Amino acid sequence: MATPTAVPTLDPTTIDQFTPDAMAGVRSFPAPPEIQGAIGFAPELSEGWEARAIARMGELLQENRALRVFLDACVHCGACTDKCHYYLGTKDPKNMPVARQELLRSVYRRYFTFAGKWFPKLVGARDLTRDVLDEWYSYFYQCSECRRCSLFCPYGIDTAEITMAAREILNHIGYGQKYTSEIIGKVHRIGNNLGLTAPALRNTLEGLEEELKEETGLDIRFPLDEAGAEVLLVTPSADFFAEPHIYSLIGYAKVFHAAGISWTLSTKASEAGNFGLFIGNHQQMRKIAHRIRDAALDLGVKRVVVGECGHAWRVAYSFWNTLIGVGSGADPDDRYGHLLQKQLDHRYKQPSHICEVTWDLLQRGAIQVDPEANDHLTVTYHDSCNVARGSRMGDTPDGAFEIPRAIIRKVANRFVEMDPATIRERTFCCGGGGGLLTDDLLDVRIKGAAPRMAALREVVETHKVNFMATICAICKAQFTKVLPAYGFKMGMVGGVHQLVSNAIRLGQNG
Amino acid sequence: MSGLFYLATLTFLIGMVWKILQYARTPAPLKIPTTPAPPTSAGVVARLARETLFFESLFRANLLLWFFAVLFHGGLALVFIRHLRYFVDPVPAWLVWMQPFGIYGGIAMVLGLMGLLARRFLIRRVRYISTPSDYLWLVLLLVIGVSGLTMTYVAHPDVVALKAYIQSLWHFTPAPFPADPFLTLHLLGFLVLLALFPFSKLLHAPGVFFSPTRNQADDAREHRHLAPWSQSELESQ
């Protein structure tokens, strides 16, 4: 596909030079009625949508303290105005986090606050009109829910929560986005976001086993639906056939093989991703997550491990215990939670990230590596937003930064960090997260990638970096697409377990 | 004046209790601390203390804004303490001792406010996001601050009569208000602020303590966090 976008340049001195409504017309395709209807939303906008939208907003305010506090607390200080990658890349002021929030807040004020009801002009309150609704649709799908703004906000206001609420209202009244709604339909119907059927999945995994047999001479397995396995691995479905994702899948298999851990994938839970998060719909998020609980119970596994997927890890780490009981600490009288938790082995963290598993094995010497195998690579690491700002690994608060880096340093000899202002909790989104990874938003995606690409360019030029490792399926897919627009090779992005796969010793400990 | 005093105070108290109860009673259905986050509640207390005393996140975000914000809020805190002398009797020694710092606080507060106001005019991004009320709040606070400093340095009001007046308000037997143009302006400004507090963006003050991204411990894997409306649906499955 031809690149429709001029690549933006980032110059701190022009941070204030913006063009109002530059991106107002950039909209992903709305979902057709049958797609919306199939997942329980109103099929399309119909008479009375205004009242239904306001009513839904009222319900969300009752259900979610974050939304209530965030809509009240903002003082328009401007701390967030230069923090969003979409603002930096598009220079549309409505992509400043505070301005994006204001699209919803202005309506909240009008219908739910004294000041907005009586003095709308004074406090910037607006009626909910079709124009406002279209504006919501444009700009709430130019937010990747990466939470970078929430890090810098003096009150911790998280635009992701506002975006999720707005998308939930839009879906509720029948104005959904085709990309996310279609995928949610697929995960319910077929079991994963990419619509890979059980026979096709089995076929793919058998093919991988044959390939690895040829390559290594070993029986490295990709088990599917094997009851009694110790580990259930839940991974993004892109890992099954997309590049570079699949190289990480091979890496996980080699790790389990070398450590002698029995594991299985599940046709029922053949997707770690959970787009219920992106649209802020609690019921969808739980329903999608529930397949993992069912698979864990059916297969009788002792551990649930999650593959390289950013938002999936946020849902798994932060929400699974709440949503489906995958975790620890359920009360004995919490029958729903206890039923699963008594089956799980709590000597391990539940759920565990594949990086936690691999790092633990590396530390204990249970797997061995030859870092020289990666000597053709100079590696940098892109922290994925949901991992960095919405979850954790290990026992210390910075585990999600340290553990993947520790693995990389162990399996590769040359590792370089990007600009400190763009890594760890300050990391920039890849530009394609949160339900934006669709070609109809390619313009936004390319522009939103600008801050990360600038930081990458710096280490490519000064340190000859030729590989950017990351642990997110969306990051991998997004970079594969946008790297060429910035003059880089698409193959320079890949997973941490792709590096592990290159370096791991198989024969000796298998 | 005394009627306004009682009315504004009552509006403030009722409004704040209502908002705080509303925040406290609205469930947080999911664990959403902005990570890296403290894993324990002691860590959360420390995080909130750093946030409210030193404006930690703002410091990370924007040094100039942080400077003006600290100047204003820090100054305001000193001014607030200085004004306690009108409300307590007898005035304790430490409060007498800190009086000059209250004046420095007043100057800092006004300088901070001028900085914050200038930002709204001079920085295009901030101008873009400013509503009329954003400017008016700063103007109101400046009116209160400048009228206060005027009474300190230029036109002293009868502070003995003022104290007697405020003491009388405590006992619901209002004495006559010591009419003075600057004092009237100063007090009216304050009463407007007080009455509008619970209906405005000044709610950021209680709000920060209820912000789930800041007040939740990062312990999602260790404890099953449940919200009533979410849980009842779970049980039926």
Q: Kindly state the percentage of chain A with pLDDT values over 90.
A: 95
Does A467 score more than 50 pLDDT?
yes
Q: Binning pLDDT at 50, 70 and 90, where does residue A9 land?
A: confident
Chain B contact probe: residue of A91, A322, A339, A387 with most B CBs at under 10 A:
A322
The answer as to whether A183 is a domain residue is no
Cβ–Cβ under 8 Å, residues A279 and A171: yes
Query: Distance (Å, rounded) from C-alpha A296 to C-alpha A277?
Result: 21
**Average pLDDT of the segment spanning A161-190:** 97
The answer as to whether A2 is a domain residue is no
Are residue A419 and residue A318 in the same domain, yes or no? Answer: no
Instruction: Give the gap in angstroms from C-alpha A137 to the nearest C-alpha of chain B.
Output: 20
The answer as to whether A28 is a domain residue is no
Among A175, A207, A222, where does a domain finish? A175
Query: Distance (Å, rounded) from C-alpha A256 to C-alpha B156?
Result: 81
Q: A350: domain range?
A: 193-356
The predicted structure's pLDDT at residue A271: 96
Q: CB-based contact (8 Å) between B61 and chain A?
A: yes
Q: What is the pLDDT of residues A114-143, one digit of tens each?
A: 999 999 999 999 999 999 999 999 999 999
Are residue A348 and residue A202 in the same domain, yes or no? Answer: yes
The answer as to whether A104 is a domain residue is yes
Q: What is the pLDDT of residues A385-431, one digit of tens each?
A: 999 999 999 999 999 999 999 999 999 999 999 999 999 999 999 99
A333 to each of A330, B31, B143, B221, how far by Cα in Å?
8, 22, 59, 18
Among A140, A175, A210, where does a domain finish? A175
Does A508 score more than 60 pLDDT?
no
Instruction: Give the gap in angstroms from C-alpha A27 to the nearest C-alpha of chain B.
Output: 23
Q: Which of B200, B213, B218 sits opposite A392 (nearest CB)?
A: B218
Average pLDDT, chain A: 96
**Average pLDDT of the segment spanning A26-55:** 97
Q: Which of A282, A334, A391 sits opposite B224 (nearest CB)?
A: A334
The predicted structure's pLDDT at residue B235: 59
DSSP codes, A219-258: -----BS-TT-SEEEE--GGGGTSTTHHHHHHHHHHHHHH
Q: CB-based contact (8 Å) between B35 and chain A?
A: yes
Cβ of B129 within 8 Å of Cβ of A154? The answer is no
Are residue A285 and residue A162 in the same domain, yes or no? Answer: no
The answer as to whether A508 is a domain residue is no
Query: Distance (Å, rounded) from C-alpha B219 to C-alpha A391?
Result: 10
The predicted structure's pLDDT at residue B234: 60
Are residue A305 and residue A325 in the same domain, yes or no? Answer: yes
Q: CB-based contact (8 Å) between B212 and chain A?
A: yes
Domain limits, chain B: 2-23+33-217
The answer as to whether A311 is a domain residue is yes
Q: Which of B29, B37, B223 sits opposite A64 (nearest CB)?
A: B29
**CATH of the domain spanning B2-23+33-217, picked from 1.10.1740.10, 1.20.950.20, 1.10.490.10, 1.10.10.10:** 1.20.950.20
Among A145, A175, A205, where does a domain finish? A175
Q: Kindly state the percentage of chain A with pLDDT values over 70.
A: 98
The predicted structure's pLDDT at residue B228: 80
3-state secondary structure chain B: CHHHHHHHHHHHHHHHHHHHHHHHHCCCCCCCCCCCCCCCHHHHHHHHHHHHHHCHHHHHHCHHHHHHHHHHHHHHHHHHHHHHHHCCCCCCHHHHHHHHHHHHHHHHHHHHHHHHHHHHHHCHHHHHHCCHHHHHHHHHHHHHHHHHHHHHHCCCCCHHHHHHHHHHHHCCCCCCCCCCHHHHHHHHHHHHHHHHHHHCHHHHHHHHHHCHHHHCCCCCCCCCCCCHHHHHHHHCC
Does B128 score more than 80 pLDDT?
yes
Are residue A288 and residue A409 in the same domain, yes or no? Answer: no
The predicted structure's pLDDT at residue B233: 62
For residue A83, which residues of chain B lie inside 8 Å, CB to CB? 61
Does A1 score more than 80 pLDDT?
no
Q: CB-based contact (8 Å) between B129 and chain A?
A: yes
Does B54 score more than 50 pLDDT?
yes
Does A218 score more than 80 pLDDT?
yes
Q: CB-based contact (8 Å) between B236 and chain A?
A: no
Q: Which of B26, B34, B204 sits opposite A75 (nearest CB)?
A: B204
Are residue A237 and residue A273 in the same domain, yes or no? Answer: yes
Does B236 score more than 60 pLDDT?
no
- Of A2-11, A98-107, B176-185, the range with the lowest mean pLDDT is A2-11
Are residue A285 and residue A413 in the same domain, yes or no? Answer: no
For residue B47, which residues of chain A lie inside 8 Å, CB to CB? none
Cβ of B224 within 8 Å of Cβ of A93? The answer is no
**Average pLDDT of the segment spanning B16-22:** 98
Are residue A222 and residue A348 in the same domain, yes or no? Answer: yes
The predicted structure's pLDDT at residue A157: 98
The predicted structure's pLDDT at residue A509: 43
Q: What is the pLDDT of residues A60-78, one digit of tens each?
A: 999 999 999 999 999 999 9
The answer as to whether A16 is a domain residue is no
ipTM value: 0.96
CATH number of the domain residue A77 falls in: 1.10.1060
**Average pLDDT of the segment spanning B28-33:** 97
The predicted structure's pLDDT at residue A11: 80
Q: Binning pLDDT at 50, 70 and 90, where does residue A312 land?
A: very high
Cβ contacts of A348-352, under 8 Å, gap ≥ 24: A348/A302, A348/A303, A349/B221, A350/A303, A350/A304, A350/A326, A350/B221, A351/A234, A351/A303, A351/A304, A351/A305, A351/A306, A351/A316, A351/A317, A351/A320, A351/A326, A351/A327, A351/B221, A352/A303, A352/A304, A352/A305, A352/A306
Cβ of A79 within 8 Å of Cβ of B201? The answer is no
Tokens at B103, concatenated: 């004046």
Cβ of A398 within 8 Å of Cβ of B36? The answer is yes
For residue B228, which residues of chain A lie inside 8 Å, CB to CB? none
Does A2 score more than 80 pLDDT?
no
Q: What is the CB neighbour count within 10 angstroms for residue B187?
A: 21
Does B108 score more than 90 pLDDT?
yes
What is the total count of domains within chain A?
3
